[in-house]
C-alpha cells in the first residue's frame, strides 16, 4: 500500500510551504511534493522580496484581503522562523505633473484596503528620506518591508517537517486519479494517496488541475528580469523606491529594492512569454532595465551589476486585458476535496501566511472541523550569520566551534560551519543551490569563483557523493563529467 496523507500539497513554493506548515498545527497527516531539488526554486525564489503594504490591489478583492492580513502576520511569522525581515519603508515617486494624481489614487485604494500610515510627501521630504532620488511628490509607506524569500520558504518547509509533515523533493506529480476516498498521485518516485489535494503548483497549477480533469484555468507566463548590484552600492537608497507604474497592466514598474542581505535589485520588467520555465535574460531587457534604473539613480554603473536573473508571474490575464485578475482559491465544484490556487502572482509572497490560514479553514470545513496538534512548535532557530556579528561574538563562536574560524566564501564571509550546516539541512537538499540559498555562499560579487571548490570539498567530506551526483540545482545540472583517480 502506498503512503496515505490526509492532505497533500503540490508545489514547494512559499504558498505550498506555508500551507503545509499551517496544516501541521492540526492533527492531519500532511505531505508536500516538489518536482525540483529544493523548495523556493520557482517563482518564490525569483521576486522582489517585498512584503507589500497593500495599496496596489483593488479594494474588495481576495488579493486585497489576503495582502493586508499577510502583511500583518509577516513580522511575527518571520520572527518565529528566524527569517530576516526589515521594515525599510517604500516611496512611490512621481516625476511628472501628470503622475501626481496616481499617487492620490494609490493612497485612497490603500486606505480603503486598510493600509496603515500612508502619506503623501513633497520634494523636500523625498530628499530627506532618499537623498539620491529625484521626484516631485511621492507616496510614502513606512510599513512596507523586505524579507528573504528563500529563507522564508525554506524555514516554512523545515518547520513543517519538524512538526510532522513529509516533504518530498525531486518528486514530480505526473498523474492524478480520483479514488473512493480521495486521490491517488503518480510521481516519478512512486504512488501516494491523499484525502484532500491542494494544488499550489504556481506556473503549472493549470496543468495540475487539468490532470484531475478540471479545465478552464489558463495561466499566461509573464517574465520579469532583474539585475542585482554589488553590496558596495547598498547605501545609495534607504528603502524601496518605486515609480508610478507604466500604463499597461504588466507589473509595478521597474523599481529599486534593497535585499535583506544588503544588495539592491533593479527590476522587474514584464514580458509575456510562451514557456512557464524560460527564466533566461535577454539583451534588450537587460539594457532597458539598466537604463531605466539609471534614470532613477544616476550613481549606478553597469560595472556594479554582479548578476542578472528573472522570475515569472503566473498571470490569469492576457496581454491586452484591461482589468487585473483576482487570486483564485477555491475547492473544485466538480471534484470535492481538490483545492486549487491559481494565478498567485504578486502579492503572493506577502499573502502566503494568510492564504495558508484560508486553506486550513477550507479543509476544516471539508472535514467538519480540525483537531489541534498539541505538540506543534512554531519556532525555528535563526541561521547564524558570522559576517553580521561583532568581533566579540565572532570570537566566542570560534571558541565553541573552530569551523566558525574558517571563512569559505570570501565575498560574504561565510564560514565552514555555516556551509556544513547548510549541507546538512533537514530537507536533505544537497545541491549547490541549496547550500547557497541557506548560507549565502556563492552569492557575492565573485559568484562562487572562489568558494565553489571549497563547498564541493565540504560536500565530499560530509556526504561522499558520486561525481555524477554533484549538481548545481538537481538532476541534469551536473557540475562535472568525470573525475581522475588518485588526485586528492
Partner 1 sequence: MIRKTVDVAVVGGGPAGLSAALSAKKNGAANVLIIERGENLGGILNQCIHEGFGLESFGVALSGPEYMQRFIDDVEKHRIPYMLDSMVLEVSADKKIIVSSKEGLFEITSKSIILCMGCRERTRGQILTPGTRPAGVYTAGAAQNFINLKGYRIGEKAVILGSGDIGLIMARRLTLEGSKVLAVAEILPYSSGLPRNMAQCLDDYGIPLYLSHTVTEIHGKKRVEAVTLAQVDERFKPIAGTEKKIECDTLLLSVGLVPENELTRKAGILIDEQTAGAVVDEDLQTSIPGIFACGNVLHVHDVVDYVSLEAERAGRSAAEYAQGKEKKPQTIKTTPGEGIRYVLPHQLSADSDVKLSMRVMAPARNVKLILSDGDRVIKTLMKTRVNPAEMIQVTLKKNELAGCKKIIVMLQNAK
Ligand X SMILES: Cc1cc2nc3c(=O)[nH]c(=O)nc-3n(C[C@H](O)[C@H](O)[C@H](O)COP(=O)(O)OP(=O)(O)OC[C@H]3O[C@@H](n4cnc5c(N)ncnc54)[C@H](O)[C@@H]3O)c2cc1C
Catalytic residues, by residue number, are 52
**Cβ proximity to ligand X, 137 vs 452, nearer residue:** 452
Residue 5 binding target from partner 1, ligand X, none, CB below 5 to 8 Å by type: none
| Among residues 180, 283, 323, 466, the one that binds partner 1 under rule CB under 8 A | 283
**Cβ proximity to partner 1, 125 vs 457, nearer residue:** 457
CA separation, residue 383 to residues 154, 278, 400, 419, 452 (Å): 11, 32, 16, 11, 21
| Among residues 306, 342, 355, 420, the one that binds partner 1 under rule CB under 8 A | 306
Q: Nearest-CA neighbor of 10 among 29, 26, 27, 31?
A: 31
* CA–CA distance, 357 with 196 (Å, rounded to integer): 16
Q: Is 339 in the site for ligand X (CB under 6 A)?
A: no
Q: Are 89 and 126 in contact (CB under 8 A)?
A: no
Interface positions, 349-408, toward partner 1 (CB under 8 A): 391-392, 394-395, 398-399, 402-403, 405-407
Q: Nearest-CA neighbor of 134 among 266, 243, 288, 228?
A: 243
Residue 266 binding target from partner 1, ligand X, none, CB below 5 to 8 Å by type: none
* CA–CA distance, 470 with 468 (Å, rounded to integer): 6
| Residue position matching grid coordinates 512621481 | 94
* CA–CA distance, 38 with 471 (Å, rounded to integer): 12
Q: Is 353 in the site for ligand X (CB under 6 A)?
A: no
- Give the binding-site size for partner 1 (rule: CB under 8 A): 59
Q: Is 483 in the site for partner 1 (CB under 8 A)?
A: yes
Q: Are strands 145-147 and 85-86 parallel, antiparallel or unpaired?
A: antiparallel
Q: Is 243 in the site for ligand X (CB under 6 A)?
A: no
Return the range that interacts with ligand X (CB under 6 A); candidates 13-21, 157-165, 361-369, 385-393.
13-21
Q: Are strands 173-179 and 182-187 parallel, antiparallel or unpaired?
A: antiparallel
| Among residues 5, 6, 9, 12, the one that binds ligand X under rule CB under 6 A | 12
- Smallest separation, CB 153 to partner 1 (Å): 19
- Smallest separation, CB 348 to ligand X (Å): 2
Residue 486 binding target from partner 1, ligand X, none, CB below 5 to 8 Å by type: partner 1
3-state SS assignment for residue 308: strand
Phi then psi dihedrals of residue 295, to 5 deg? -65, -35
* CA–CA distance, 77 with 85 (Å, rounded to integer): 10
Q: Is the alpha carbon torsion for 436, 438, 443, 444 positive or negative?
A: negative
Contact flags string 406-425 toward partner 1, x per CB under 8 A: xx--x--x-x----------
CA separation, residue 104 to residues 63, 91, 97, 110, 156 (Å): 20, 13, 13, 10, 37
* CA–CA distance, 130 with 117 (Å, rounded to integer): 18
Contact flags string 131-170 toward ligand X, x per CB under 6 A: ------------------x---------------------
The grid coordinates of residue 380 equal 525555528
**Cβ proximity to ligand X, 279 vs 458, nearer residue:** 279
**Cβ proximity to partner 1, 79 vs 483, nearer residue:** 483
Contact flags string 172-211 toward ligand X, x per CB under 6 A: xx--------------------------xxxxx---x---
* CA–CA distance, 460 with 479 (Å, rounded to integer): 14
The grid coordinates of residue 231 equal 553590496
The residues that bridge with 471 in the sheet, in sequence order, are 478
Contact flags string 418-447 toward ligand X, x per CB under 6 A: --------------xx--------xx---x
Q: Is 46 in the site for ligand X (CB under 6 A)?
A: yes
Q: Nearest-CA neighbor of 242 among 234, 229, 251, 250?
A: 251
* CA–CA distance, 7 with 196 (Å, rounded to integer): 5
Residue 98 binding target from partner 1, ligand X, none, CB below 5 to 8 Å by type: none
Q: Is 312 in the site for ligand X (CB under 6 A)?
A: yes
- Smallest separation, CB 68 to partner 1 (Å): 35
Name the site residues for partner 1 (rule: CB under 8 A).
Answer: 228, 232, 277-283, 286, 302-303, 305-309, 391-392, 394-395, 398-399, 402-403, 405-407, 410, 413, 415, 445-450, 452-453, 456-457, 467, 471-487
Binding site for ligand X (CB under 6 A): 10-16, 33-36, 41-50, 52, 149, 172-173, 200-204, 208, 224, 228, 259, 261, 263, 268, 279, 307, 309, 311-313, 344-350, 432-433, 442-443, 447-448, 452, 472-473, 479
Amino acid at each position: 500500500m502506498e503512503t496515505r496523507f490526509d492532505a497533500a500539497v503540490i508545489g514547494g513554493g512559499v504558498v505550498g510551504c506555508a500551507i503545509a506548515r499551517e496544516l501541521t498545527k492540526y492533527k492531519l497527516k500532511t505531505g508536500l511534493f516538489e518536482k525540483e531539488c529544493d523548495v523556493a526554486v520557482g517563482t518564490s525564489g525569483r521576486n522582489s522580496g517585498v512584503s507589500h503594504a497593500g495599496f496596489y490591489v483593488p479594494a474588495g478583492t481576495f488579493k486585497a484581503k489576503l495582502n493586508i492580513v499577510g502583511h500583518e502576520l509577516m513580522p511575527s511569522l518571520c520572527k518565529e522562523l528566524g527569517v530576516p525581515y526589515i521594515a525599510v519603508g517604500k516611496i512611490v515617486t512621481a516625476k511628472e505633473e501628470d503622475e501626481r494624481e496616481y499617487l492620490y489614487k494609490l493612497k485612497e485604494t490603500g486606505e480603503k484596503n486598510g493600509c496603515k500610515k500612508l502619506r503623501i510627501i513633497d520634494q523636500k521630504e523625498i530628499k530627506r528620506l532618499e537623498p539620491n532620488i529625484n521626484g516631485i511628490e511621492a507616496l510614502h509607506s513606512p510599513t512596507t518591508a523586505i524579507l528573504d524569500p528563500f529563507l522564508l520558504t525554506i524555514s516554512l518547509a523545515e518547520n513543517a517537517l519538524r512538526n510532522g509533515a513529509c516533504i518530498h523533493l525531486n518528486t514530480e506529480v505526473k498523474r492524478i486519479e480520483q479514488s473512493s476516498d480521495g486521490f491517488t498521485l503518480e510521481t516519478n518516485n512512486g504512488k501516494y494517496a491523499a484525502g484532500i489535494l491542494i494544488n499550489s503548483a504556481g506556473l503549472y497549477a493549470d496543468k495540475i488541475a487539468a490532470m484531475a480533469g478540471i479545465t478552464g484555468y489558463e495561466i499566461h507566463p509573464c517574465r520579469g528580469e532583474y539585475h542585482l548590484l554589488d553590496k558596495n552600492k547598498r547605501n545609495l537608497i534607504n528603502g524601496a523606491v518605486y515609480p508610478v507604474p507604466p500604463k499597461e497592466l504588466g507589473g509595478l514598474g521597474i523599481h529599486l529594492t534593497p535585499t535583506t542581505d544588503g544588495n539592491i535589485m533593479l527590476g522587474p520588467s514584464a514580458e509575456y512569454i510562451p514557456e512557464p520555465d524560460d527564466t533566461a535574460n535577454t539583451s534588450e531587457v537587460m539594457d532597458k532595465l539598466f537604463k531605466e534604473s539609471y534614470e532613477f539613480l544616476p550613481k549606478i554603473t553597469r560595472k556594479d551589476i554582479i548578476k542578472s536573473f528573472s522570475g515569472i508571474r503566473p498571470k490569469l490575464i492576457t496581454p491586452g486585458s484591461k482589468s487585473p485578475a483576482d487570486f483564485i482559491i477555491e475547492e473544485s465544484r466538480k471534484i470535492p476535496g481538490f483545492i486549487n490556487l491559481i494565478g498567485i502572482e504578486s502579492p503572493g509572497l506577502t499573502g502566503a501566511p494568510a492564504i495558508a490560514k484560508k486553506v486550513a479553514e477550507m479543509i476544516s470545513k471539508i472535514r467538519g472541523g480540525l483537531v489541534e496538534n498539541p505538540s506543534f512548535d512554531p519556532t525555528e532557530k535563526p541561521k547564524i550569520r558570522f559576517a553580521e556579528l561583532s568581533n566579540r561574538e565572532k570570537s566566542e563562536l570560534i571558541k565553541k566551534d573552530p569551523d566558525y574560524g574558517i571563512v569559505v566564501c570570501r565575498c560574504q564571509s561565510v564560514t565552514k560551519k555555516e556551509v556544513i550546516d547548510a549541507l546538512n539541512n533537514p530537507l536533505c537538499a544537497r545541491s549547490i543551490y541549496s547550500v547557497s540559498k541557506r548560507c549565502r555562499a556563492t552569492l557575492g560579487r565573485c559568484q562562487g569563483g572562489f568558494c565553489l571548490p571549497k563547498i564541493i570539498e565540504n560536500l565530499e567530506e560530509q556526504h561522499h557523493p558520486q561525481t555524477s551526483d554533484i549538481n548545481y540545482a538537481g538532476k541534469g545540472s551536473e557540475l562535472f563529467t568525470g573525475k581522475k583517480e588518485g588526485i586528492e
